[in-house]
Amino acid sequence: MREWTGEEIAAIAERLRRARVHAGFARATDAVRKFGWNYSRYMNYENGARAIPPKQAILFASAFGVTVDFIYFGKGDIINQIERTQALSSRMVRRIPLCMLENIVEIQRIASGFEPMLATAALPVSFEDTLPERAIFIEIADKSMSNHNEPVSFEPGDKAMIDLDATPAPSDFVLVLVPEEEAALFRTYREIGRDTDGSMIAELVPLNPNFRTIRISSAGSAQIIGVCRQVHRVFDLAQPMRRGR
């Protein structure tokens, strides 16, 4: 990585801020929540406390619709957006559709084997990460999977990457379409046993005990859409950030 001077880092930070504002995010917190970034790490870049590594610069450029050259060197017009670096970005950044759990029609399309429609939102993910061939992000909307006594806890606003081709194993976090509930649910998958007809009986277990467990059968109408493979964490921005993480 290039060694930037203090003045260069400050100029890069200012261009990152301009790119963020131009993309429609008046506050840095809005962008962080949108893309599931680590707030303190992002602010280190935008405040000029740290130089932006190339991998992060590519993700920020893709998210804000500018060129990497603009962020690093101020080259080109910010209005020009990402067209001139589309080839580079397409090789290094993949944009995965973000689906809302309340959008039952879209979830039903995905459950039927159709590709996600052009989403109103997508999260840029580096191709250096191990990614499923077919994937979507879902946004956690409630506290049903929130339990700080568990090793993993999901908070409202977190984005969970769902592998659409994965077969669930016990204790996996799964996205399930449950017509009887008229809902798409994100829950822990727990197998109970087999029914007399040989069908698998399983429970969809919330991490939060204040929400109820739902029992499904492989012979029923419930359909497991995919398995969680990654989480983009959203931090509580109202709380003071802890050092040492």
pLDDT digits (tens, 9 = 90+) for 82-131: 444 443 444 456 778 888 888 888 888 887 777 776 545 677 776 555 67
The pLDDT value recorded for residue 238 is: 33
pTM, two decimal places: 0.62
Look up tokens 């059968």; give the residue: 217
Q: What would the pLDDT profile of 40-63 be if each residue is shown by its tens digit?
A: 999 999 999 999 988 788 788 878
Q: Is the pLDDT of residue 143 over 90?
A: yes
Contacts of 144 (CB under 8 A, 6+ apart): 185, 186, 187, 206, 207, 208, 211
Q: Is 8 helix (H, G, I), strand (E, B) or coil?
A: helix
- Higher-pLDDT residue of 230 and 218 is 218
Q: Are 191 and 202 in contact (CB under 8 A)?
A: yes
Q: Tell me the domain boundaries of the chain.
A: 6-81, 94-232
Please say whether the beta carbons of 145 and 186 come within 8 A.
yes
Do β-strands 173-178 and 223-232 pair in parallel, antiparallel, or remain unpaired?
antiparallel
What string of DSSP letters covers 83-110?
A: GGGHHHHHHHEEEEEEEETT-HHHHHHH
Secondary structure element (H or E) that encloses residue 178, with its range: strand 173-178
Which residue type sits at 164? L
CATH code for the part of the protein at 6-81: 1.10.260.40
Q: Which fold has domain 94-232?
A: Umud Fragment, subunit A (2.10.109)
Q: What are the residues facing 189 on neighbouring strands?
A: 204
